[in-house]
Amino acid sequence: MSHIRFLWHLIISATMTCPLMAFDGVRVVHFYGYQDCLEIANSSTRVVLCPAAGGRVLVYALDGKNVLYLPSGNEGWIWDGQNGSGPMHAGRFDIGPELVVPRRQILWQGKWTGEITGDREVEMTSQYDPGTGVRLKRKFFLNPNDSTLQCTQTILNESDRTVEYCHWSRTFAVGKGICIVPLSDSSRMPQHYVRYDPPGKLINVMPTDPHVERMETFLVISDHPENPKLGFDSTVGWFAYLSKQDLLFVKRFPTYPDRVYNELAGLTISIWYPDNDMVELEPIGPRERLEPKQIASFTETWQLVGCTYRDAAEIQPQEIATIVAQIEN
């Protein structure tokens, strides 16, 4: 009798741990040295997510071309739980403000869990981080018919204190491309952008830079600036990056002109453009003041479209804006 009960327990356990239904366009794959990546795909677009190290996006590809910077040499890297930072490339997300948020290796590079939650939909969840008092969730949904990828990060305050953070996207894309940032009618910044200059990350409110050019109602970043970190307060709600792979990478996100943005210079966007092989594309959310047990979410919408790369002198920002308007869902 006890043997029968044991077999029945095994049957029940197996049933509870196996998916009760299959979902379209999503599967577990071995990629970049990780056994448990989650792939979302449709006929044109492939997304690969990595719960094992930081809850990142490793691949965002259109027709086989990955716009994210993912160099060889760091395959399968896993944080050992000790101090130190690892090679966190490709589609990273974070929380800010940058200069005051506590250290958070558990969130940034620790092990996450991944769950298939629907057709072309995955949710990843971090461990609880005592330093910040929060846990993070990230949900990704790929449109069945095109490259539109919704990326939602949720901050959960699981501590017993009030916390203040903001959404901070830190996506590494393949470098040496051209950024197009549409400008709001008004700005706190005389040049519509600021540059962080050494020593001590001084915020230069009147930068002049040959690689950051005002073109009509846009700023165009054509190459690495004198110092790599630029900040913007545009509330238009999108920017685009034209990569040398003939891909236009568009990020859309909500903006809140009447809310507080608690990055030091009140940024809605930051672009980090060093003189190397990657560029960092960073939508930034408003301040979220969370009481214990409260949560806050922020959604970025990513899109890829084929677009022939051309030199900065040949760029017509309004043509890029027209493309962005045409692909908006």
pLDDT in tens, 243-267: 999 999 999 999 999 999 999 999 9
pLDDT in tens, 148-204: 999 999 999 999 999 999 999 999 999 999 999 999 999 999 999 999 999 888 999
In a domain, 252, yes or no: yes
Mean per-residue pLDDT of the chain: 93
Residues 315-319 have a mean pLDDT of: 93
In a domain, 16, yes or no: no
Residues 67-93 have a mean pLDDT of: 93
- Assess whether pLDDT exceeds 80 at residue 47: yes
In a domain, 115, yes or no: yes
Question: What is the distance between the alpha carbons of residues 61 and 282, in angstroms, rounded to a whole number?
Answer: 19
Q: To 10 degrees, the CA torsion angle through 75, 78, 84, 86?
A: 30
Question: What is the distance between the alpha carbons of residues 126 and 109, in angstroms, rounded to a whole number?
Answer: 10
pLDDT of 82 = 87
DSSP 17: H
Per the structure, the count of domains in the chain is: 1
pLDDT in tens, 23-42: 999 999 999 999 999 999 99
Cβ atoms within 10 Å, residue 268: 25
In a domain, 82, yes or no: yes
User: Alpha helix (H) ranges present in 87-221?
Assistant: 105-109
Whether 176 contacts 320, CB under 8 Å: no
3-state secondary structure of 313: helix
pLDDT of 309 = 96
Question: What is the distance between the alpha carbons of residues 142 and 224, in angstroms, rounded to a whole number?
Answer: 32
At which residue do the structure tokens 């990546």 appear? 37
Domain that residue 275 falls in: 26-327
In a domain, 246, yes or no: yes
Query: Which CATH number does the domain housing residue 177 bear?
Result: 2.70.98.10
In a domain, 1, yes or no: no
Question: What is the distance between the alpha carbons of residues 322 and 329, in angstroms, rounded to a whole number?
Answer: 14
Q: Residue 312 has which token pair?
A: 């900065």
pLDDT of 2 = 38
In a domain, 317, yes or no: yes
Beta bridge partners of 268: none
pLDDT of 329 = 67
In a domain, 15, yes or no: no
pLDDT of 268 = 98
Cβ atoms within 10 Å, residue 131: 13
